[in-house]
Structures are given as structure tokens and as C-alpha cells.
């Protein structure tokens, strides 16, 4: 373990032991090394709410255009246009605006009955069995069915796509492999090419058709439609983002409400508490707890300089537990009045799918409580997922009463 922080605190996003419970380390970083440097992997990190929020807003200094994942930034690979997670203005604004036109809140709200139906399909057969798995029986199923329906991906193919998504994120051990994470275009070309070609000849009422037909003015002033490669990147982005973080949110819902049964019973008795409970779950256990940025100019934090060209990790998962922002932040409280959290990011990269993730989280909890108002985690068989980007559970079996 190496660090240039005088305090001796050590943080490593690839370390499984730290990832199991990063909050003690993050608290030490906030208190003792608010600007942290790891010389093993050559990155800086910010952990306090105020620092992280300001950096997320300041896109011109903390840039996403070279990648927003540590492995991609370190690999220094070229990011294709259209990957809005890995873009800066003006191209980011253009591509995000285009995607916003087909990913509207109205459209998201209209799918709630379908989301409920997807939950019922997987939960109803488990009633009376005495157990189910928040991840394997719900978290990997409902989000993929939902985004698959929105994109127009055949149901028969959705599970295989989900497995490829998981495999691309999984860490084999607690170290950086030295290889960049798969980029959106790699994944999209391999998985979605046939669907895009089919939908071009067989239009339907789905996002893929909308993307094929959308006209826009590009940065040259030319009015045109998206190319096949651009559509593939969009589809890959939606499939990945529409699955992983929502699955982790559902897993944390099962875990936290098992650990706080009194609050779970409150929610079961008064379902109007569900939206606020989902916000507290998101704050307390951020499904995507860190974002990487390229530092585009020399900056200073807490009296220490960071030179242009450095990598900065913005630990929004730590910021969500900052006692400078929240009273008693390590206490889980569904009645908390928090203002806002940073689990969906902030600024121009605020998660475009936040409305969908909130809808899915809310519906999933409501449908579970409808059938299983009491549960406890089968800790002997629960397995935490290991990735460097999202955080949650790979298996979360529960015993239901």
C-alpha cells in the first residue's frame, strides 16, 4: 500500500476489502486527506460534498471527453463521438439534446404498468416458496426487460445481453488488470448491430426506431440523421446504463430494508413513503459511487496543487455521507430531508435515466412489499459484486415471512 497522503490513509478502487465497506476509509479521507493522491495508480480524489459537487459542475476543468472511468483514462484511448458519458460540450450538448428527445419523462411515466407487469412475472411464481433473490429474481430481470422493451430488443435475447454486460464490468481480483474497460462502441457493435439493421427495415414504436428517424443539426450546421455507428453507441449506452445501476439500487433496497425492519414496516403500512425511501437508499448506498475526470488545467484544493493532465476521482458515494452536508449521515433514515444527493451526478452529466431508475426502484419496492412485507437476508449465500465502477450485490437471497 502506497500513498503520498501524509496521514497514511489508503484508498484503492480495485481493493475488494475496501470496497466491502469503503465508508471508514472515505471518512478518513474527508477528514485527513480531502485532496487524496494514490501513487500506485496515479490519481487524485475528492471526497467532501462541496468539493465533489463543484467539480461535477465545472466540466471545463474536470473533463469527461477522455473517459469517465479510471481504466479508460489511464489507457488514453480515443473515444468515438456520441458517447455522451465520455464527452464535453459542445458535442456533449448536441448528443444529449438528441437523446433527450427520445427519452422523455412523459414516455418513462407511461411505462409504469409494464414495469409492474415485469415485476409480477418474476415475483408471483415465488409466492409461498419462502425465499427469493433481490438480484437474480428481480434486479437482473426487470431493468433488462424494461430497457429491452424501450429499445425494441426481443425478450429471448435480453438475458444473454445482460450476462455480457455483467461480465464486462466484473473484476477477477482486487487489482487493476491494466486493460481498459470495454468501451460502449465495442460492446454495441458486437451485440446490437443486427437489431439496428432489422429495425431500419421494420420500424416500430421504440427508442431504436426514434433514433433511426431523428433529424438534427450537427456541429457543422448540416441537418442529418444519425449514422449506424452513432446509433449503435446510443443503444449500447442505454442498454448498459439502463441495467447496471438500477440492478444495484434494487439490491441495496433489499439489503438496507432488511437491516432496518422498523422502517420497512413503516413503508409497508404507508406506501406514500416509497419515493423518499428510494432517495435515502440512493444517498446511503450510491450504486455508482465514483466518477473519473481528466484535469484540463492546473488547480488547487486544500492548499495542494493538481497539475493539468492529472486524473481526478470524484467520490460521490463519499460526498453522500459527508457530515458537513448531512446531519448524522451514517444513519439510514427514510424520513431524512436531504435537499439533494449526488448519486445521479450533478451538472451537465446528471444521469439522463434518473427518472427511469427512480420509477423502477419505486415500483420494484412496491411490488415486493405487496407480496413479501417481511424478509431477512440469507447472509451465508449473499455475494457482493466486484467492479471498479458500480457497487452493489451479485446475489442477495432473502428468507421471507
> Is residue 245 scored above 80 in pLDDT?
yes
Instruction: Identify the architecture of domain 16-400 in CATH.
Output: Orthogonal Bundle (1.10)
Strand partners, 38: 43
138-154 mean pLDDT? 88
pLDDT for res 148? 86
Choose the weakest-confidence range: 25-39, 138-152, 163-177: 163-177
Q: If pLDDT is split at 50, 70 and 90, which confidence band does 183 have? A: very low
% residues pLDDT > 70 (the chain):
89
Q: Which of 360, 352, 323, 326 is nearest to 341 (CA)?
A: 326
Q: Which of 38, 42, 43 is nearest to 8 (CA)?
A: 38
45-63 mean pLDDT? 98
pLDDT for res 26? 98
pLDDT for res 181? 47
Query: Domain coordinates of the chain in residue numbers?
Result: 16-400
pLDDT for res 237? 79
Cell numbers at residue 260, please? Answer: 432496518
Q: Name the residue with higher pLDDT: 284 or 92.
A: 284
Q: Could you write out the three-class secondary structure of 358-371?
A: HHHHHHHHHHHHHH
pLDDT for res 374? 97
Q: Which of 349, 354, 311, 353 is nearest to 88 (CA)?
A: 349
CA distance 163 to 181: 16
> Is residue 99 scored above 90 in pLDDT?
no
pLDDT for res 118? 96
Highest mean pLDDT among 2-11, 177-186, 281-290: 281-290
Q: Which of 97, 61, 82, 64 is nearest to 352 (CA)?
A: 97
Annotate 274-306 with b (16+ C-beta within 10 A) or e (fewer).
Answer: bebbbbbbbbbbbbbbbbbbbbbeebebeeeeb
pLDDT for res 387? 84
Q: Name the residue with higher pLDDT: 224 or 85.
A: 224
Q: Assess contact for 151 and 133: CB atoms under 8 A.
A: no
pLDDT in tens, 317-360: 999 999 999 999 999 999 999 889 999 999 999 988 898 999 99
pLDDT for res 37? 97
pLDDT in tens, 269-326: 999 999 999 999 999 999 999 999 999 999 999 999 999 999 999 999 999 999 999 9
List phi, psi (to 5°) of 361.
-65, -45
Q: Name the residue with higher pLDDT: 313 or 237.
A: 313
> Is residue 9 scored above 60 in pLDDT?
yes
97-102 mean pLDDT? 80
> Is residue 232 scored above 90 in pLDDT?
no
Q: Which of 142, 161, 329 is nearest to 247 (CA)?
A: 142
CA distance 65 to 314: 15
> Is residue 170 scored above 70 in pLDDT?
no
Cα 356–Cα 361–Cα 365 angle in degrees, nearest 5: 150
Cα 273–Cα 278–Cα 279 angle in degrees, nearest 5: 100
> Is residue 178 scored above 80 in pLDDT?
no
Residue with cell 416509497: 274
Q: If pLDDT is split at 50, 70 and 90, which confidence band does 168 have? A: low
pLDDT for res 241? 72
pLDDT in tens, 10-46: 999 999 999 999 999 999 999 999 999 999 999 999 9
Residue with cell 427511469: 356
pLDDT for res 42? 97
Cell numbers at residue 82, please? Answer: 456520441
Q: If pLDDT is split at 50, 70 and 90, which confidence band does 186 have? A: low
Q: Name the residue with higher pLDDT: 44 or 206.
A: 44
Amino acid at each position: 500500500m502506497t500513498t503520498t497522503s501524509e496521514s497514511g490513509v489508503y484508498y484503492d478502487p480495485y481493493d475488494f476489502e475496501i470496497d466491502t465497506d469503503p465508508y471508514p476509509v472515505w471518512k478518513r479521507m474527508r477528514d485527513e486527506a480531502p485532496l487524496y493522491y494514490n501513487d500506485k495508480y496515479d490519481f487524485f480524489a475528492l471526497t467532501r460534498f462541496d468539493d465533489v459537487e463543484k467539480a461535477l459542475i465545472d466540466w471545463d476543468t474536470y473533463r469527461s471527453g477522455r473517459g469517465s472511468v479510471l481504466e479508460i483514462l489511464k489507457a488514453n484511448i480515443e473515444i468515438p463521438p456520441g458517447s455522451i458519458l465520455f464527452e464535453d460540450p459542445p458535442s456533449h450538448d448536441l448528443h444529449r439534446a438528441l437523446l433527450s428527445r427520445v427519452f422523455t419523462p412523459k414516455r418513462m411515466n407511461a411505462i409504469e404498468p409494464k414495469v409492474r407487469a415485469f415485476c409480477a412475472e418474476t415475483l408471483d411464481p415465488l409466492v409461498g416458496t419462502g425465499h427469493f433473490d433481490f438480484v437474480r429474481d428481480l434486479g437482473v430481470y426487470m431493468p433488462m426487460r424494461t430497457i429491452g422493451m424501450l429499445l425494441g430488443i426481443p425478450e429471448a435475447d435480453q438475458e444473454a445481453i445482460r450476462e455480457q454486460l455483467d461480465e464486462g464490468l466484473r473484476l477477477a481480483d482486487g487489482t487493476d488488470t491494466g486493460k481498459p474497460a470495454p468501451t460502449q462502441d465495442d460492446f454495441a457493435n458486437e451485440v446490437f448491430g443486427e437489431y439496428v439493421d432489422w429495425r431500419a427495415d421494420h420500424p416500430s414504436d421504440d427508442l431504436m426506431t426514434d433514433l433511426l428517424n431523428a433529424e438534427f443539426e450537427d456541429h457543422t450546421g448540416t441537418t442529418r440523421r444519425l449514422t449506424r455507428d452513432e446509433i449503435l453507441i446510443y443503444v449500447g449506452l442505454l442498454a448498459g446504463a439502463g441495467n447496471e445501476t438500477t440492478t444495484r439500487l434494487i439490491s441495496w433496497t433489499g439489503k438496507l430494508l432488511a437491516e432496518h425492519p422498523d422502517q420497512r414496516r413503516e413503508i409497508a403500512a404507508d406506501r406514500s413513503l416509497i419515493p423518499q425511501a428510494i432517495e435515502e437508499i440512493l444517498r446511503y448506498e450510491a450504486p455508482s459511487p465514483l466518477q473519473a475526470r481528466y484535469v484540463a488545467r492546473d488547480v488547487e484544493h486544500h492548499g495542494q496543487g493538481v497539475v493539468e493532465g492529472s486524473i481526478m476521482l470524484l467520490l460521490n458515494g463519499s460526498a453522500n455521507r459527508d457530515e458537513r452536508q448531512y446531519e448524522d449521515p451514517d444513519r439510514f433514515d427514510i424520513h431524512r430531508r436531504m435537499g439533494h444527493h449526488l448519486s445521479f451526478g450533478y451538472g451537465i452529466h446528471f444521469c439522463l435515466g434518473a427518472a427511469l431508475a427512480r420509477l423502477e426502484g419505486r415500483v420494484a419496492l412496491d411490488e415486493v412489499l405487496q407480496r413479501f412485507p417481511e424478509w431477512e437476508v440469507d447472509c451465508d449465500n449473499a455475494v457482493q459484486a466486484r467492479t471498479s465502477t458500480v457497487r452493489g450485490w451479485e446475489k442477495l437471497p432473502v428468507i421471507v415471512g
